[in-house]
């Protein structure tokens, strides 16, 4: 009878440990791949949470419960390139005014969510409080420029690591180097 009790206790402990391991495995954020440029540059975003806000003069915006994603591509629309660059650069200037941290090779800026909201208030109708971790990225081959801002630094880093640049514009394609790696916009 003592062996049966020991077997039951060990079985219950194994179930508890298995449940804890399963719970820890499901608590990490889940992502889905999203194309920023059709058949081109992609990024992993929070699954079933990311909402597209729209394309405003070439600047594309997405948001989810604790973050935003801003992108634009220099190849998309010749007539508004200067306006696009100014809008994107205005957001980037706010981000770069925050405290810079070098985390896993990425320049990550800590900014107040309220400061960022003031710049996007006419476009993005969301309200965030607290600190945001923002990572600006760019790529010279594909001309894709990305800003990831999130309350969760590890989520922002996961997203930045997932970026795969791919040039889909034929006039600038170098067939030997179509794919490129992530590069901080502030490098160089």
In a domain, 5, yes or no: no
Reference 127, options 68, 46, 70; nearest CA is 68
Mean pLDDT of 147-153: 92
CATH number at residue 55: 3.40.1000
In a domain, 95, yes or no: yes
In a domain, 2, yes or no: no
Mean pLDDT of 176-180: 46
In a domain, 45, yes or no: yes
> What band does 124 get if pLDDT is binned at 50, 70 and 90?
low
- In terms of DSSP H, where are the helices of the chain? 2-27, 81-96, 113-120, 153-162
pLDDT of residue 97: 83
Distance from C-alpha of 37 to C-alpha of 97, rounded to nearest angstrom: 28
In a domain, 114, yes or no: yes
Distance from C-alpha of 112 to C-alpha of 181, rounded to nearest angstrom: 29
pTM of this structure: 0.70
Mean pLDDT of 131-158: 89
171 or 98, which is more confident: 98
| pLDDT tops 90 at residue 17 | no
Note down the domain range covering 93: 30-184
Overall domain count for the chain? 1
Mean pLDDT of 116-122: 56
pLDDT of 88-99, one tens digit each? 677 778 788 888
Q: 47: how many CB neighbours lie within 10 A of its CB?
A: 13
Mean pLDDT taken over the chain: 76
pLDDT of residue 20: 67
In a domain, 84, yes or no: yes
| pLDDT tops 80 at residue 155 | yes
24 or 166, which is more confident: 166
Mean pLDDT of 71-75: 78
In a domain, 175, yes or no: yes
pLDDT of residue 157: 95
In a domain, 18, yes or no: no
């Amino acid at each position: 009878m003592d062996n049966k009790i020991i077997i039951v206790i060990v079985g219950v402990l194994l179930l508890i440990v298995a449940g804890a391991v399963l719970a820890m495995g499901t608590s990490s954020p889940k992502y889905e791949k999203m194309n920023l440029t059709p058949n081109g540059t992609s990024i992993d975003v929070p699954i079933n949470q990311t909402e597209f806000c729209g394309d405003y003069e070439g600047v594309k915006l997405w948001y989810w419960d604790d973050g935003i994603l801003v992108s634009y591509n220099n190849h998309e629309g010749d007539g508004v390139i200067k306006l696009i660059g100014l809008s994107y650069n205005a957001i980037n200037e706010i981000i770069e005014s925050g405290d810079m941290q070098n985390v896993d090779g990425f320049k990550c800026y800590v900014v107040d969510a309220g400061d960022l909201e003031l710049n996007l208030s006419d476009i993005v109708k969301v309200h965030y409080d607290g600190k945001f971790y923002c990572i600006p990225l760019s790529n010279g081959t594909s001309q894709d420029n990305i800003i990831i801002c999130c309350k969760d630094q590890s989520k922002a880093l996961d997203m930045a690591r997932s970026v795969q640049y791919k040039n889909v514009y034929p006039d600038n394609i170098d067939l030997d180097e179509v794919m490129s790696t992530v590069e901080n916009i502030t490098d160089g």
